[in-house]
Chains A and B, each alone.
Chain A
């Protein structure tokens, strides 16, 4: 059976890079992989989604609603915006933060309440705090990926190679370090 992941976040916060690393890790782990995202306007701070489907043989470029196995959300509102892709068996990893929207009032408690009302498994962790603790503010998404690799059960070695494949050589070591931080987070 094929599996699918939805990545959600805010334009410019690195969600596309995170999904690229993940796609490369899955390639390294010998899956057929298809990844799709929306470019263009979304890069100007709008909502961004990337979808990844992997398995033995993948046809579709996008998963169906209510069929996604995993969610990787760098922000809570965006996680909420994509819950129609989730089902009861899905598992979500959500960065515990809210990015304000120009001109909108956001009630934090309400957002948390909504999220709590969904029955799928949610791992809500403040990765920005974790990053700050390790002085790795730029590596928030990679720390998240470290944690996420445990959820999707893909070996670390595939991810480290994927990081090396995907990122600028100067950033590889620091991101592998960030990945480890996430991996060792309990």
Chain B
């Protein structure tokens, strides 16, 4: 079949073709669509987990049960699953087990840049780095075979550009064949990591490394491409494509399996070349491996260690290394324009909460999700955002440390279940007085509306059990638990205000579902009666993208307005009314 596919779709197809039959993950851009595509395959049992560690261990369990399995996450998710990864490297696997991690160089939607290759080295598990969608499909298949042959988890590392690029590919949708599920194994010495067993497993791991090292120098995915110029480029991932576009006739050492590093091929490669450089995104991983092996070639001297690469950056670096002459180009200068940052959607149920928090002037610890956008002007009401689950634990610390500040932690339902529950238990047990607001929109909205344990449906959109957050929170023992409907602005404000001023731990669950998912919610749009508008700009301060401002009057863009009525509720002159009122 000839089709345009994305890297994430290719990873899913690769897993299917390799006969994977179990998959789990936690959504995170740019990895989320891998499972979204996987769910279309009947033969694969697939689900979202509450966090990456749980997802990782589910897939490991399935592997031990004899089923090829994989887990997906973004780079920061691997931090959460790191504990499991380090030990799974010791236990090894039964049926093939692949860890798909999507890095986000350039931080298009992440809190940091991380290079998963360093994790592979740290955990001593092989890592494959596809350059594009076509390779992603093939590497995924290869990863399962490697995992079984060498008894190890295998990481497939994508990046935003690989995951989200779409390209033309030829492929067929048949399973590769020759693979049978395995039997469940009971092998205590392998899977029970008490010290005695772990000590033995560590030795096995080192033996495995030696074999993998040999493989790395022999596998066709670490390949030399002969060119006609007497210069060499050692590269991996998307950097390969940019270099190839600019210097098609150079010699290439294209690395697909980057840990263990193919040092012998590299030695072979540099032998007859006048000049060799390394091109790699993020960390100088390849460069360090080369230098540790006694091959002194430069890389980061010419190319940045931060940000996502593109043709211009690679061209710049190649010019610095005198590999090419940069063709002088005439750039049109972009005028100084106001940025168009992402904003909470029109009608977003988080908006009233942030408008209230803003007016109460409290200190707000935030978390990872759509609601992080509450930090942006004009709402400007989140003061910290570090990582998943950190709002509640940091709010705890802040509340304990500075008794004079009113502290509020905001967290989404998905994030709360990811890693927010444990710190809430800590806060209860240690009697910390602050207010936690769970923004329960019943979905993982940020990453595209994946269901979570509060949604009531699963990844395939089938109805399923759902967790009742109120019961869950009460079961900890917390008594001050309130449910509010954020669209009922006045009551919500009163309750938040009351709780902020009460010196006790309280949890407020804001219950409005996301306006976008699972179904787009749209009511009759509102409009501004121009004559009544006194130009106070109060409605503009709620930061709704459906509200515009022209000729000293607010106006509402009919197509965008969802009819949430927030602006109408804050307008002091009742100038904003439901659109059909006047008709």
Q: Which residues of B contact A20 (CB under 8 A)?
A: 4, 166
A27-B2, A43-B342, A46-B340 given; A60·B335 CB < 8 A: no
Give the Cβ gap from B308 to chain A, nearest Cβ, in Å. 9
For B548, give its contact among A12, A61, A84, A100 (CB under 8 Å): A100
Which stretch (A28-36, A142-150, A152-160, A174-182) binds chain B? A28-36
> For the complex, is B378 an interface residue (Cβ under 8 Å from A)?
yes
Interface residues of B toward A: which range? Answer: 35 or more
Contact assessment for A41 and B109 in the assembled complex, using a CB-CB cutoff below 8 Å: yes
A42→B447 CA distance, assembly (Å):
11
Contact assessment for B108 and A39 in the assembled complex, using a CB-CB cutoff below 8 Å: yes
> For the complex, is B218 an interface residue (Cβ under 8 Å from A)?
no
Q: Which residues of A contact B505 (CB under 8 A)?
A: none
> For the complex, is B344 an interface residue (Cβ under 8 Å from A)?
yes
A40-B109, A41-B109, A102-B543 given; A59·B334 CB < 8 A: no
> For the complex, is B30 an interface residue (Cβ under 8 Å from A)?
yes
Q: Which residues of A contact B378 (CB under 8 A)?
A: 102-103
Q: Which residues of A contact B370 (CB under 8 A)?
A: 44
Q: Which residues of A contact B545 (CB under 8 A)?
A: 45, 100, 102
> For the complex, is A106 an interface residue (Cβ under 8 Å from B)?
yes
Contact assessment for B338 and A44 in the assembled complex, using a CB-CB cutoff below 8 Å: no
For B329, give its contact among A33, A66, A78, A118 (CB under 8 Å): A66
Proximity bits, A73-104, B CB within 8 Å = 1, else 0: 00001101111101110000000000011111
Contact assessment for B330 and A87 in the assembled complex, using a CB-CB cutoff below 8 Å: yes
Give the Cβ gap from B583 to chain A, nearest Cβ, in Å. 19
> For the complex, is B195 an interface residue (Cβ under 8 Å from A)?
no
Q: Which residues of B contact A43 (CB under 8 A)?
A: 342, 448
Residues 45-60 (chain A) with a chain B CB within 8 angstroms: 45-47, 58-60
A24-B4, A39-B30, A102-B545 given; A32·B340 CB < 8 A: no
> For the complex, is A37 an interface residue (Cβ under 8 Å from B)?
yes
Contact assessment for A42 and B342 in the assembled complex, using a CB-CB cutoff below 8 Å: yes
For B29, give its contact among A33, A39, A83 (CB under 8 Å): A39
A39-B109, A86-B332, A102-B543 given; A27·B168 CB < 8 A: yes
A10→B557 CA distance, assembly (Å):
15
Contact assessment for A77 and B340 in the assembled complex, using a CB-CB cutoff below 8 Å: yes
Contact assessment for A47 and B241 in the assembled complex, using a CB-CB cutoff below 8 Å: no
A35-B165, A103-B377 given; A80·B335 CB < 8 A: yes
Q: Which residues of A contact B343 (CB under 8 A)?
A: 44-46, 102
Contact assessment for B4 and A33 in the assembled complex, using a CB-CB cutoff below 8 Å: yes
Give the Cβ gap from A5 to chain B, nearest Cβ, in Å. 13
Contact assessment for B340 and A45 in the assembled complex, using a CB-CB cutoff below 8 Å: yes
> For the complex, is B244 an interface residue (Cβ under 8 Å from A)?
yes
How many residues of chain A get a CB closer than 8 Å to chain B's CBs? 54
> For the complex, is A136 an interface residue (Cβ under 8 Å from B)?
no
A65-B312, A81-B337 given; A35·B167 CB < 8 A: yes
> For the complex, is B315 an interface residue (Cβ under 8 Å from A)?
yes
Give the Cβ gap from A20 to chain B, nearest Cβ, in Å. 8
> For the complex, is A38 an interface residue (Cβ under 8 Å from B)?
yes
> For the complex, is A62 an interface residue (Cβ under 8 Å from B)?
yes
A39-B30, A60-B245 given; A34·B167 CB < 8 A: yes
Contact assessment for B337 and A62 in the assembled complex, using a CB-CB cutoff below 8 Å: no
For B334, give its contact among A62, A80, A100, A104 (CB under 8 Å): A80
> For the complex, is B549 an interface residue (Cβ under 8 Å from A)?
yes
> For the complex, is B331 an interface residue (Cβ under 8 Å from A)?
yes
Give the Cβ gap from A11 to chain B, nearest Cβ, in Å. 7
A78→B337 CA distance, assembly (Å):
9
For B330, give its contact among A35, A47, A88, A137 (CB under 8 Å): A88
Residue of A nearest to B338 (CB): A104
Q: Which residues of A contact B330 (CB under 8 A)?
A: 66, 87-88
Contact assessment for B340 and A78 in the assembled complex, using a CB-CB cutoff below 8 Å: yes
A179→B167 CA distance, assembly (Å):
24
Contact assessment for B340 and A84 in the assembled complex, using a CB-CB cutoff below 8 Å: no
A100→B312 CA distance, assembly (Å):
31
A32-B168, A33-B168, A106-B338 given; A40·B30 CB < 8 A: yes
Residues 328-380 (chain B) with a chain A CB within 8 angstroms: 329-335, 337-345, 370, 373, 377-378
A78→B340 CA distance, assembly (Å):
9
Contact assessment for A36 and B165 in the assembled complex, using a CB-CB cutoff below 8 Å: yes
10 contacts between A and B (CB under 8 A): A33-B4, A34-B132, A38-B164, A65-B329, A80-B334, A80-B335, A86-B332, A100-B545, A102-B543, A104-B338
B residues at A contact (CB < 8 Å): 2-4, 29-30, 108-109, 132, 160-161, 164-168, 238, 241-242, 244-245, 248, 310-312, 315, 329-335, 337-345, 370, 373, 377-378, 446-448, 540, 543-545, 547-549, 557, 559
A residues at B contact (CB < 8 Å): 10-12, 20, 23-24, 27, 31-47, 58-67, 77-78, 80-84, 86-88, 100-106, 114, 118, 137
